[in-house]
Amino acid sequence: MIAFAARRLLGALPNLAGVMVVTFVLTRALPGDPAAYFAGPAATPEAVAEVRHALGLDRSLAAQFATYAGDLARGNLGHSVTTGQPVLTELAARLPASLELVAAALLFAAAVSIPLGVLAATRPGSWIDHACRALATAGVSLPTFFTGLLLAYVFYFLLGWAPPPTGRLDAAFSPPPAFTGFYLIDSLAAGDPELFAAALAQLVLPALTLGLFVIAPITRMTRASMLGVLAAEFVRTARAAGLSRGTILIRYALRNALLPVLTTLGMVFSFLLGSSILVEKVFAWPGVGSYALEALVASDYAPVQGFVLMMAILYLLLNLAVDLAYVAVDPRVRLQG
Residues of this chain that interact with another protein (CB under 8 A) are: 14-15, 18-19, 21-23, 26-27, 29-31, 134, 137-138, 140-146, 149-150, 152-153, 156-157, 164-165, 220-221, 223-224, 269-271, 273-275, 277-278, 281-282, 292-293, 296-297, 301, 304-305, 307-308, 311-312, 315-316
Of the two residues 229 and 238, which places its CB atom closer to another protein in the complex? 229
What is the closest distance, in whole angstroms, from the C-beta atom of residue 276 to another protein in the complex?
Answer: 9
The answer for residues whose C-beta is within 8 angstroms of residue 201's C-beta and 6 or more apart is 162, 163, 170
Q: How far apart are CA 293 and CA 112, in angstroms?
A: 31
What is the closest distance, in whole angstroms, from the C-beta atom of residue 274 to another protein in the complex?
Answer: 3
Name residue 121's amino acid: A
What is the closest distance, in whole angstroms, from the C-beta atom of residue 141 to another protein in the complex?
Answer: 4
The answer for residues whose C-beta is within 8 angstroms of residue 190's C-beta and 6 or more apart is 176, 177, 179
Of the two residues 42 and 297, which places its CB atom closer to another protein in the complex? 297
Of the two residues 187 and 275, which places its CB atom closer to another protein in the complex? 275
What is the closest distance, in whole angstroms, from the C-beta atom of residue 256 to another protein in the complex?
Answer: 17
What is the closest distance, in whole angstroms, from the C-beta atom of residue 334 to another protein in the complex?
Answer: 24
Q: How far apart are CA 2 and CA 82, in angstroms?
A: 45
Of the two residues 62 and 158, which places its CB atom closer to another protein in the complex? 158
What is the closest distance, in whole angstroms, from the C-beta atom of residue 267 to another protein in the complex?
Answer: 9
What is the closest distance, in whole angstroms, from the C-beta atom of residue 102 to another protein in the complex?
Answer: 11
Tell which residue, 36, 23, 116, has the closest CA to residue 78.
23
Structural contact between residues 98 and 90, judged by C-beta atoms closer than 8 angstroms: no
Q: How far apart are CA 200 and CA 81, in angstroms?
A: 34
What is the closest distance, in whole angstroms, from the C-beta atom of residue 258 to another protein in the complex?
Answer: 16
Of the two residues 175 and 274, which places its CB atom closer to another protein in the complex? 274
Rounded alpha-carbon distances, angstroms, from residue 136 to 103, 142, 217, 316: 20, 10, 8, 27
Of the two residues 189 and 232, which places its CB atom closer to another protein in the complex? 232
Of the two residues 123 and 239, which places its CB atom closer to another protein in the complex? 123
Positive/negative CA dihedral, 106, 112, 117, 122: positive
Tell which residue, 298, 305, 293, has the closest CA to residue 27.
305
Phi/psi of residue 86, each to 5°? Answer: -60, 135
Structural contact between residues 300 and 80, judged by C-beta atoms closer than 8 angstroms: yes
Q: How far apart are CA 215 and CA 200, in angstroms?
A: 21
> 86: which strand partners?
79
Of the two residues 146 and 179, which places its CB atom closer to another protein in the complex? 146
